[in-house]
Structure 1
């Protein structure tokens, strides 16, 4: 599947939370005055890998059985904004990437539980769309009583990437998305998606 990065959307997470995420994970330049071999990325000299959401995997629809009608929807979910920071360890020529992303889920008419689990992935690709590594994570989401929507936040710390020579963080992309079955991917391609409001 060709790699394409979907536009990063801000979900309805409060601006305060997004701002705090950006401050906590935003790349900044800081050379350690104590001579450590670790340096913060996100600068021209030490660029972080590009992060984003893999096209067509930014949302998921869970259906009851083989049905595809609106009444068969158990839940929908979507990924919002992705933020990251990276740290270069010059002594062992590695980059450590920390990222976080938020999202929102919504119960459908076919839901029989208020506790669901969504599978998401974090994948690292190199230039020319070569897959380097991929890890799947579970995100449990509990819907409060009387509410049909719930928000989630996922952090993934310490993804280690090698670099060297003229290669730096720019040779990598770190992509997130829902881990879809073939049927779910086909559903995403065929059915127009209405963002959760």
Structure 2
């Protein structure tokens, strides 16, 4: 069974150029090319969830189900006006009581984060883990998609020029990293995005993950 949700946001990251990452240009400098696709990951503390047999119990003997999010991968369609990133993952779960078949529904989220901290879009999805009778383990595949607008977050041309301008030895600013300029650094930060996926945890579940 596969669960799927869609996040749409008018966001993208573009720093064009034809050179390949690590390529040495004619001036002796090294060219770095940033992808328009968002960085994909799992926020700390949200990659696993523990369910207990009692709402107030937190000891090992009261653990009902433990689930982990694994094999998080992404594919990115970096063409046209929209950049579509599909994030796939697997949920592996283990239960304590194995008598009878059982289905457990677990909520998860997909977010688009701008500049490392600003959540600009979020949606909640759910995956259903099935346990066969007598079996302690179950797994399910999940999928989430983000659609971002390329034009909305393209770096201004003047910033692109500052980042890609060839510098030669002897130039006054040859050894100066353009990212040390506040306006350049701010523009790049505004153009940096992440697609983050994880379990949608309650406050109690977050505290448990942080303190166990």
TM-score interval, normalised by the smaller of the two chains: 0.5 to 0.7
For the structure 1 residues 115 and 128, does the alpha-carbon distance in structure 2 shift closer, same or farther, using more than 3 Å as the test? Answer: closer
Q: Does 1:53 align with 2:50?
A: no
Match of 1:133 in 2: 121
How big is the alpha-carbon RMSD for the aligned residues of Structure 1 and Structure 2? Answer: 2.6
Q: What secondary structure, in the 3-state scheme, does the structure 1 residue paired with 2:41 have?
A: strand
Deviation of 1:109 (Å) = 4.3
Distance 1:98 1:47, change over 3 A: same
Pairs aligned (count): 146
The Cα offsets for residues 84-111 of structure 1, whole Å up to 9 and x where unpaired, read as: 1112343x3x211111011200102499
What residue number does 1:11 align with?
A: none
Query: What is the CA–CA distance in structure 1 between the aligned matches of 2:96 and 2:49, rounded to whole Å?
Result: 12
Larger radius of gyration: 2
* Cross-structure match for 1:160: 147
Q: How far, CA to CA, are the matches of 1:79 and 1:51 in structure 2?
A: 14
Contact 2:72 2:87 survives alignment (8 Å)? yes
Q: 1:181 aligned to 202, 205, 210, which one?
A: 202
Distance 1:56 1:172 in 2: 20
Alignment correspondent of 1:172: 193
Aligned positions of 1:1-197 closer than 5 A:
44=33, 46-64=35-53, 65-90=55-80, 92=81, 94-109=82-97, 114-157=102-145, 159-164=146-151, 165-166=154-155, 171-191=192-212
